[in-house]
Chain A
Amino acid sequence: MNEKRKKLKVYRENRSQKTGSHYDTFEVPYKKWTTVLDALLYVKSYMDPSVAIRYSCRMASCGSCGMKINGIPKLACYTKISELETSTIECEPLSNFPIIRDLVTDFSLFFTHHKNMEPYVQTKDNLDTDTNKGTFSFYQSPEDVDKYLQFSYCIKCGLCYSACPTVGTDMKFPGPQALAQQYRYFADTRDESKNRLDIVDDRHGIWRCHFAGSCSKVCPKGVDPALGIQLLRSYMLGISKNDKVPAKRIEISNNTDTEDGAIDSNS
């Protein structure tokens, strides 16, 4: 059978066992559409079930299967073997994340940095927008949404965090994902928080980004975190004026026959 095969060189280590690391090489068949994740699952099914990997959606939507493929952070489900030029494909865990086992890494610090950015819409009066209580909803035009939409596409896969040169040496640096999310909320007209810029105005904050651009280069969802960070910085330098108009609030009426089709909480 004229089956095409390539070698998969997988990093193996179990940090809790402290036995050191090595690479295992497996030869896998592939077709034009076979992804690296498919190949790794083939290895697990037929060759070595002990290979530890994380995956879930298999369609670049959940961000679980991030790993270094031939030295560059990529999503395994989104990288086709036929499009990689080398005959041996090296799979290593994402750098800048502590390794737990094989290709599985610890994302706790990554999520901590994200949480430190207060990644939720804050309003001046801590408005409860639960529509069941008959309160308010926000009005946003398509132009308002476009200001932050691409940054909301972030799937927290960690590829940008792995590629960033500053993250490589500075554990206090929030990383491109967290900083881009800070911009996402800063640009959102629904958010009225006044201290978003102060959170990142720190000697290990936004100023340690030097626009190496590696984050945007590896992002699989087109979030372009480097753009978000530089735009946020332009506000901090006073180049862009902070003249965001807060989103208009629309009262949701309790009347049954309303023209705007609002929810009737009494029916």
Chain B
Amino acid sequence: MESRTLLKESQIMKIHYITGIAAIFVVALHIMMRLVVPFELSLEYDYIIANYKNIVYVLILESILVLISVHGFNGIRIILLELRQSRAWENMVTVVTISAMIGLIAYGTRTIILANGL
């Protein structure tokens, strides 16, 4: 009756907890980097492009992207799984959330790579 899944639910939940905690640190860094300069300056085009050239900043952004996408879409997967329990629905939820995760990470990485090249 139970179909074999790629990851056990306990493994998925460990990932959920770890990405959540790690995300707090990197997001806090991201916010602090905006707060150490005057607010108006932090939104200027040239300042932001200069930030994208900084490899440390790029790594922070990429890790935020990956951690929050995984944590957030897994959260949505959990909420959707609780709403309905047919086999078709559960398969759809798995496919949609994983695709959305990959899609958002890809799109954000594209921004980072392109902005880095500007």
Where the two chains meet, the residues of A that have a C-beta atom closer than 8 Å to any C-beta of B are 166, 169-173, 201-205, 207-208, 236-237
Contacts of A236 in B (CB 8 A): 10
Q: How many Å from the CB of A206 to the closest CB on chain B?
A: 9
Q: Which segment of B37-45, B55-63, B76-84, B101-109 sits at the interface?
A: B76-84
The 8 A CB mask of B1-17 against A (1 = contact, 0 = none) is: 01001001110111001
Chain A-chain B contacts (Cβ-Cβ < 8 Å), number: 35
Q: Which range holds the interface residue count of chain B?
A: 10 to 19
Q: How many Å from the CB of B28 to the closest CB on chain A?
A: 24
Contacts of B54 in A (CB 8 A): none
Q: Which of B8, B9, B12, B90 has the most CB of A within 10 A?
A: B9
Contacts of A203 in B (CB 8 A): 5, 9, 81, 90
Q: Are A207 and B82 in contact (CB-based, < 8 A)?
A: no
Interface of B is mostly: helix
Interface of A is mostly: loop
Name the CB-closest residue of B to A167: B82
Mind listing 14 A-B residue pairs with CB under 8 Å?
A169-B82, A170-B83, A172-B85, A201-B10, A202-B2, A203-B81, A204-B81, A207-B12, A207-B13, A207-B78, A208-B78, A237-B10, A237-B14, A237-B17
CA separation between A173 and B9, bound complex, in Å? Answer: 14
